[in-house]
């Protein structure tokens, strides 16, 4: 099982997810959105597994700092992908990818069930 965690290192939720994986002896690869932006094919793949409304974090400071025009980009999948590539901090974090499954955010119970 190949596990990747996508996010930004200073995000508290990402830190919790990484700590949980480490404390449960689950190896993973961390992908820092600041150093390696998401790609269009990657985002299209994720959107095949989760809804657009789930993937974009509309509660975060990044979303609130966007102009109305930028927020309106997220109305369509193509616009949302363009927005997520240019501003990856708008993506709900962390994104945990295990083979062909993804999970958004962190919840210790969901992680525990997922890794049973």
Q: State the catalytic residues.
A: 11
| Token pair listed for 30 | 């961390």
CA dist., res. 64 & res. 21, Å (int): 30
Pairing verdict, β 29-32 and 3-7: parallel
Instruction: Provide the CA 112 distance to its chain's centre, in angstroms.
Output: 19
Q: Which residues contact 109 (CB under 8 A, 6 or more apart)?
A: none
- What do you get for the CA distance between the two ends of the chain, in Å? 13
Neighbour-count burial of 23, counting CB atoms closer than 10 A to its CB (0-12 exposed, 13-18 middle, 19+ buried): exposed
């Amino acid at each position: 099982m190949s596990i990747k965690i996508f996010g930004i290192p200073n995000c508290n939720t990402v830190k919790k997810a990484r700590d949980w994986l480490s404390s449960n002896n689950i190896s993973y690869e961390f992908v820092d959105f600041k150093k390696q932006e998401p790609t269009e094919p990657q985002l299209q793949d994720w959107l095949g597994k989760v809804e657009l409304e789930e993937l974009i974090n509309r509660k975060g400071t990044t979303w609130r700092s966007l102009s109305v025009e930028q927020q309106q980009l997220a109305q369509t999948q193509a616009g949302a992908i363009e927005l997520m590539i240019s501003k990856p901090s708008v993506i709900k974090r962390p994104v945990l990818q295990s083979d062909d499954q993804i999970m958004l955010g962190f919840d210790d119970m969901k992680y525990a069930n997922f890794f049973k």
